[in-house]
A and B are shown apart, each in its own frame.
Chain A
Amino acid sequence: MVILVLFGSLWGYFAPPHDPVAQDFSKRLMPPDLINLFGTDRFGRDIFSRLLVGARPTILVSTASTLLACTIGIPYGVLCGGAGRLGKILSRILDGIQAFPTLLLTLLFVTVSGSRYEIIVVSIGLSFSPLVARVAEGIVTSEIGRDYVLAARAIGVSPFAILVRHILPNGASVLLVQATSVLALTILSEAALSYLGLGPSTLVPTWGRMLFDARETMELAPHTVLAPLIAISTLVISVNLLGDGLRDVLDPTLVD
């Protein structure tokens, strides 16, 4: 299903069936038909084409946010778990950050800094980095007392090398699974931001923005809200299933 969405995104980027921003007021709120597969919105724009085109920013923003969350979260988590007293202090700071709901943090960043794409990526990435950091910290904490770590320390391997060469590779599968979970959450966050009217206000539609626009017409033309809703749900479920699949493949404890 993820591949299908990626394919749809490419289709939308190179050759969408209709111009996703072209308005045709003679075709406002038309129900789905063979020409407009998912109908049209209040400006007479083709919803299917907008979904295809909207997949790209949705995927790009969520993927970039997840990468940022991992880039910040993993080293921070490693420090929390492996830096002794400093790690404990960092860990308590993490507790403090996690006390704030993630969406609230994202809203705070976007409200203060503006709603450009790069700001949204940074806001979502920063907000979700504690989720990755906590898992990374757990891996380090649980592995640090293992025999192979003690053996490495005994032969004089530096702590940094132990973390990078031994501990992190052992926890890579768990981190990868966590990253897919975060990816699903960032998709929802991007949609939520756009739905709240805080998404980037460019001509390129995003799925959340389509939901936002459809609020005004959802009673008169339910198809306008159903299409982006189903698209977001499908992508989130797909990514979650992908995470489950990766866990099944990569986690040695689940191998029969």
Chain B
Amino acid sequence: MPSYPLHSLAWHHRPFTHLIAFVVVSLLLFVSPLPSRAQTTTLRIADSIDMTNADPQVSNEIPVLYTFAEGLTSLSDTGEIMPFLAEGWDVNDDATEFTFYIRPDVRFHNGRMLTGDDVLWSLQRIQNPDTGAFRGNNFQGLTLELVDDMTLRVTSPTPNAVIPAYMTDAFILAPESIGQDGTINQPIGTGPFTFQEWMPGQELRLAKFIEYWRGEPLVDEISYLIIPDPSARLNALRSNSADIIASIRPTDLPLLAGEQDIVTQLALPNLLTHLTFNTRDPIGPLADVRVRRAIAYMIDKESVRIAMVGEDGPGVVNNQYWNEGDFWRLPIPDEFAQPNEAIARDLLEEAGVADGFETTILTWADGRPAAEVVQARLLEFRITAQIEYAPDFPTYRTALEGYEYGMLIDTAFPRTDPATLLTFWNSTNPNNIFRGGYSNPDVDTLLAAGVATTDPEARREAYTETLTIVQYGDVASILMVTRNAVWGMRNTVEGFTPGTGQLNRIDGGVSITSLVTP
């Protein structure tokens, strides 16, 4: 006699009982007032560039650093330098001595209160060349000392009006951040979010800091996603895989016209696209200033503008960092505003390269359209330029350090003060690899003069002359187009403005950003 499992018999005998029980249990589970775990709100921000180091003092400057580390000052959306971790500061008449008053109510992520010793330690660490701080050059020659527990005095041997501007990205960290190997892998800052986990090239995870001195942040976590490809980044926003994305290509804006769930905002300062020659170790005919000038006359800046932002996009042809109406707009007539084929050919003839030559254009990120415009234009003059496209920042930096390129096309990011922008042209600044290793003692002197006075007119004069020498004297660089960075966000994001592009700042950023149900 065959045997049957008991449960199968039961099932066949009472099928409806089971069905009803199943439905009832399901309904009970569905409507029962069981306590539900509070949902964690994660703000997903996608950007193109990752940190180069977990240590914010060493890393290249990118917006996310400001979420977990802060400086004594902050850049406001109108471009002013405002108190931040310092309540304020005094400056003497000749701008050689600055006294910063540190806030008494700031806590580090490890719960300890911020003290003057921490500030002094952080700034001295930035100042120490062994640290390799990205902005270490700004602090060379300065004397740092504590007047009392919460007061820092910074003394400069020469007048230096931009020290408060330098403080915006001189990140203050707790000395406990230093790991056993002497480096910082888990930075302890004072920002609204704490550093959790970093997967280089992929994601940085941050958790909210409940004791943040400006109030508890409104979201629980930030997931900072690295998506270098602009199309992929845009798709992440459109498919709701990211809440906020940086650096939307202006030429992609028409795609978002019909998207009801997405809003775009322009960041306030300008991005500047420039073509800069390798003047440290110039290759072939590019060592001749006449050839560089000829190339400057070839380039149609309007074509570069259209390639970068489209016909009606947020960008203008420019030969400086500032647009019409900006305070720092300098009176520099643009000799290269329009291409001049005849002059270009004469100069090439004069330099003995009328038959052309071969060179390279190094670029990365969103520089490819501009590079292709320049490449095609050069070919009309028999100059064959190979585009070397670096897929990411480390590769780009390595290529820059190799000085084996003819010219580079890059975008200069907005900074707090003209001095912090133009310091890249200083021959003693290690970061002048981003400007082709340019070196001119006259420019060094002008840059020093620019920071040695608090008189804005005197500073404008120094910077006008600097950019005139760089562009029209040495023809080391051709500044072409300024444009606004475009940020996109889903309509579930509230309270976020890109402002100056820094993700946490005195008047905006992620500490006051929340996520809502649409």
Contact = CB atoms under 8 A, between A and B. Distances in A.
Contacts of A219: 255
Interface string B245-280: 000010110110000000000000000000000000
B306 A25 contact: yes
A141 to B, nearest CB: 43
A23 B389 contact: no
Contact of B307 (A43, A197, A202, A220): A43
A118 interface: no
Interface string B365-399: 00001001101100100001011110100000000
Nearest to B306: A25
A23 B255 contact: no
A248 B202 CA distance: 51
Interface bin, chain A: 10 to 19
Interface string A21-34: 11101001000000
A216 B230 contact: yes
A142 interface: no
A31 to B, nearest CB: 15
A215 B306 CA distance: 18
B379 A21 contact: yes
A42 interface: yes
A216 B307 contact: no
B118 to A, nearest CB: 43
Interface bin, chain B: 20 to 34
A162 to B, nearest CB: 50
28 contacts: A21-B379, A22-B376, A23-B373, A25-B302, A25-B303, A25-B307, A28-B311, A42-B251, A42-B307, A42-B369, A43-B369, A43-B373, A43-B376, A197-B391, A201-B387, A201-B389, A203-B375, A203-B376, A203-B379, A203-B384, A215-B231, A216-B230, A216-B249, A216-B252, A217-B251, A219-B255, A220-B254, A220-B255
A201 B379 contact: no
Most buried by B among A28, A203, A215: A203
A209 B311 CA distance: 24
B443 to A, nearest CB: 32
B406 to A, nearest CB: 14
Contacts of A220: 254-255
Contacts of B386: 201-202
Nearest to A220: B254
Nearest to A198: B391
Interface string A43-58: 1000000000000000
Contact of B388 (A25, A201, A217): A201
A28 B306 contact: yes
A23 to B, nearest CB: 5
B13 to A, nearest CB: 56
Contacts of A28: 306, 311
